[in-house]
Amino acid sequence: MHQGSSREISAGLIGCTFQMSGLRLQWLALIVEAVMRRREFMAFGAATAIWPLATRAQQRAARIGFFTPQSPDPSWIEAFRAGMSEHGYREGRNLIIALRSADGEKDRYTELIGELLSFKPDVMMTWSTPTSMALKQATGTIPIVSISGDPVGLGLAASLAHPQGNLTGFAILSVGVETKQLQILKDLNPNLARVTVLTNPTNAVNAPIVSSIKNAALLAGIVIQVLQVEDANELAKAFDAATTDRSDAVLVLRDDLFDFKRRQIATLAVQAKLVTMTGWSEYAHAGCLVAYGVNFSDLFRRAASYVDKILHGTAPGDLPIAQPEKFELVLNLRTARALGLTIPAPVLVEANELIE
């Protein structure tokens, strides 16, 4: 073979080797690219598998167990729903409310609380001192948003600023309210001399309130008669006693028993020709003459913000117990006419609502 031919063959072999190496590199590149794409696809598949689960977890409906001593005023519940709506919650979409009412029967508390616990609520909501105490005894773990008289004084919370346990919400420290009620009675009747206070001794929050009323009455020159009523059957006797004592008015302390019998109280008061002062507007709507106290619709709306914070991970013990910000004076003018009373102009001007 000629030397030139050998060189040509060698050059050809080298060229073939380079071509084969190029092909291998191309194949390797294609294989690597395919592997990378497969990994990206698998990663995307895993992400798409996880994402719906995360979305469903985020969209899980909040479960609120609502325990009430009696059927709540519709405006209160609507205020709570409105408050929850402000924070993005809608019933039927991401909110479930299970409501249980004792309808004034305290012996049903255990049964109804058991039903709510089986509902597995994220948060429990209630109002009144007795129901708050019953819920606190039933659970030390489920968060409770409560509207009650004096949660610290009754041992439901360590302090207003730092509750520490599983209960928070609102404290209706009533001392100032009842003092204001006596002043309104005095404005209605400048000759006011004797007032009967209707209280339920089984309600632990009422004893210090009665003491406060007595102190305020002493300064105002008013004589106080305290009548203790534990049973609805005793209401008629209580009004007979107030009439016998020649009381000018009856001041009804807030209590589940009285709330449930507010229409009966209004009827007995009109029959006895006695002015009634109560703590909730619902009493005035039921026929009592005057109500001065906390605006509960406002409290229920504000309670929704506490529920929202808890649902987002804040411990109830870290949420300070707040106090009412809005109060209301409601007068029933129909009852005033039935009693033959003329409401002084300054009291009419101060009223938030007049029931014609």
Q: What is the DSSP string of 88-111?
A: T--BTTTEEEEEEE-TT-GGGHHH
- Residue 289 pLDDT: 98
From 129, 128, 145, select the one nearest 311 (Cα to Cα).
145
Burial of 258 (0-12, 13-18, 19+ CB in 10 A): buried
Instruction: Calculate the average pLDDT of the chain.
Output: 85
For residue 21, pLDDT over 60 is answered with no
Other C-beta atoms closer than 10 Å to the C-beta of 219 total 9
SS3 218: helix
Distance CA 117, CA 259 (A): 26
Share of the chain above pLDDT 70, in %: 83
For residue 286, pLDDT over 70 is answered with yes
Tell me the CA end-to-end span of the chain in Å, nearest whole number. Answer: 129
Q: Which residue has the tokens 């632990």?
A: 204
Contact 317, 294 (CB under 8 A): no
Confidence of residue 206 (pLDDT cuts 50, 70, 90): confident
Task: Taking residues 208-217, report their average pLDDT.
Answer: 90
Distance CA 19, CA 315 (A): 71
From 105, 153, 143, 147, select the one nearest 129 (Cα to Cα).
147
Q: Which residue has the higher pLDDT, 167 or 36?
A: 167
For CA atoms 343, 349, 353, 356, the dihedral sign is: positive
Contact 86, 308 (CB under 8 A): no
For residue 340, pLDDT over 90 is answered with yes
For residue 85, pLDDT over 70 is answered with yes
